[in-house]
Amino acid sequence: MPDRLKLSVGYQLPDADRFADVVTEYAADIDEVYFPWRGTASGRGVSIADDSEQSQMMSELAEIRAAGVRLNMLWNGNCYGGDAISSALEQRVVGAVREISERIGLDAVTTASPFIAQRVKRAFPALDVRASVNMGVRSITAMQCLGDAFDSYYAHRGLNRFPDRLKKLHDWCAANNKRLYLLANSGCINHCPAHVFHDNLVAHEAEAACQPSPWTGFSGVCWGYYADPANHVSLLVDSTWIRPEELDHYAGIVDGIKLATRVHRDPARVIAAYACRTFDGNTLSLCEPDFSALAYLDNKRFSDHWLTRFGELQEPERTDFCKKEFRNVSIRC
């Protein structure tokens, strides 16, 4: 029987509970913690702004690694501008990886840049270099094209509800000494037309905010779309999240589960739900972005065959099935 899948969770500077304490509480179910670096663009903007925040994070990461949890450093910004293939970027990345490796230890680097992957693998052959979910890896050909610089991959989130497709990727990985992971709680619209634009914007978030008269009206096209109740069924049809109760279905199909917790308003609740494989509340509140203010999907009302049927059906039957499921789980706010 496949081993119980473990979680990869994103570090967040503590507001109330120390993140290290949350990780320690669920350490038996957490494989790794991923984290950004001071002043560096990543998949969620610059979240470590100064030396004091960096020091606080490093202190907690040292505790976390001492508890037997792996550390995964993020260089997953979707855009590094003119520095994208520069020696300056290489020196910055290699220097940061070396610093944390020598101070507290490091196990993996996640990046959306083939350039960064190649340079990190060359300088640190023992590190697990992982392809970011932002790279949209969805085929064996895609993994082959990335070459020897990558040891593992996050699958395109659009494959999440199609275990048979994921199994084919995992079988290739197993045969080629690679590993496959998935992101379980993305709230993003599958194949969002503004996804690349939004990823690039996030990578340059700090710079954009300093521009004269910056545009403050964009938080993603999804919010305007889901604001119309007529589109709420898309919260099922066009989403990719997996409920905590469904994680063990993926044992033997992927090697681990990533949770988006770096900017979630309650990362401890998300980690607890997926570690315990159960949640009583609004399924949307576990996701990032969190659309729970727009609709309430009772997590306990989903049918036992929800995930299986979703993956089996073709359009338009899948949409009809989701409409029926939505009527069953939706509670008017």
pTM for this model (two decimals): 0.93
Residue range 314-328: mean pLDDT, rounded: 96
* Domain that includes residue 32, residue range: 7-221+237-280
Residue 172 CB burial class (10 angstroms; 0-12, 13-18, ≥19)? middle
User: Would residue 286 count as lying in a domain?
Assistant: no
CATH number of the domain within which 149 lies: 3.20.20.60
User: Would residue 135 count as lying in a domain?
Assistant: yes
Q: How confident is the model at residue 219 (pLDDT cuts 50, 70, 90)?
A: confident
User: Would residue 324 count as lying in a domain?
Assistant: no
In the structure encoding, which two tokens stand for residue 304, read together?
């036992």
- Which pLDDT belongs to residue 47? 62
**Quick one: which H or E segment has residue 258?**
strand 256-259
Q: Tell me how far apart the alpha carbons of residues 116 and 31 are, in angstroms, rounded to a whole number.
A: 23
User: Would residue 193 count as lying in a domain?
Assistant: yes
Counting the structural domains of the chain, the total is 1
pLDDT tens digit sequence for 175-208: 999 999 999 999 999 988 888 888 878 777 767 6
User: Would residue 332 count as lying in a domain?
Assistant: no
Q: How confident is the model at residue 48 (pLDDT cuts 50, 70, 90)?
A: low
User: Would residue 179 count as lying in a domain?
Assistant: yes
pLDDT tens digit sequence for 135-163: 999 999 999 999 899 999 999 999 999 99
User: Would residue 331 count as lying in a domain?
Assistant: no
